[in-house]
């Protein structure tokens, strides 16, 4: 079998191959905003339509990523748990981990 030159790693080039091929469908949810339904429901409906109308499909499932509610970027934290995407999420983190001075016990 010829080496896959698309791999940049020489070991992968010699030992690995592309497999488990699958098709990913990314809907344009903005086109569906006029329907008062969640993005998750829109995706479930599209998956249902694919199952009904497309042959040779073993499975269709709806997957999602965890993203920041404020900026929409993929959810990523550092080793302390602090969000790395935006100041809004970092601010929520700071408010949750830093003790409030008003909560300090009276002496």
Sites for Zn ion among residues 81-100 (CB under 5 A)? 85-86, 89
- How far, in Å, CA of 63 to CA of 69, rounded? 17
- If one asks whether residue 7 binds Zn ion (CB under 5 A), the answer comes out as no
Helix (H, G, I), strand (E, B) or coil at 2: coil
Among positions 25, 57, 71, 97, the unique one binding Zn ion when judged by CB under 5 A: 71
Residue whose C-alpha is closest to residue 80's, from 67, 65, 93, 66: 93
The reply on whether position 67 binds Zn ion by CB under 5 A is: no
- In the complex, the residues that contact Zn ion under the rule CB under 5 A are 68, 70-71, 85-86, 89
């Amino acid at each position: 079998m010829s080496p896959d030159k698309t791999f940049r790693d020489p070991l992968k080039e010699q030992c690995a191959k592309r497999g488990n091929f699958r098709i990913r469908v990314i809907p344009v949810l903005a086109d569906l905003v006029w329907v008062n339904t969640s993005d998750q429901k829109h995706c479930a409906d599209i998956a249902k339509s694919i199952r009904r109308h497309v042959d040779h499909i073993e499975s269709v499932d709806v997957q999602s990523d965890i993203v920041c509610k404020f900026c929409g970027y993929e959810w990523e934290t550092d080793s302390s748990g602090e969000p790395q995407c935006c100041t809004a999420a970092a601010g929520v983190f700071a408010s949750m981990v830093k003790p409030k001075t008003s909560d300090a016990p009276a002496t």
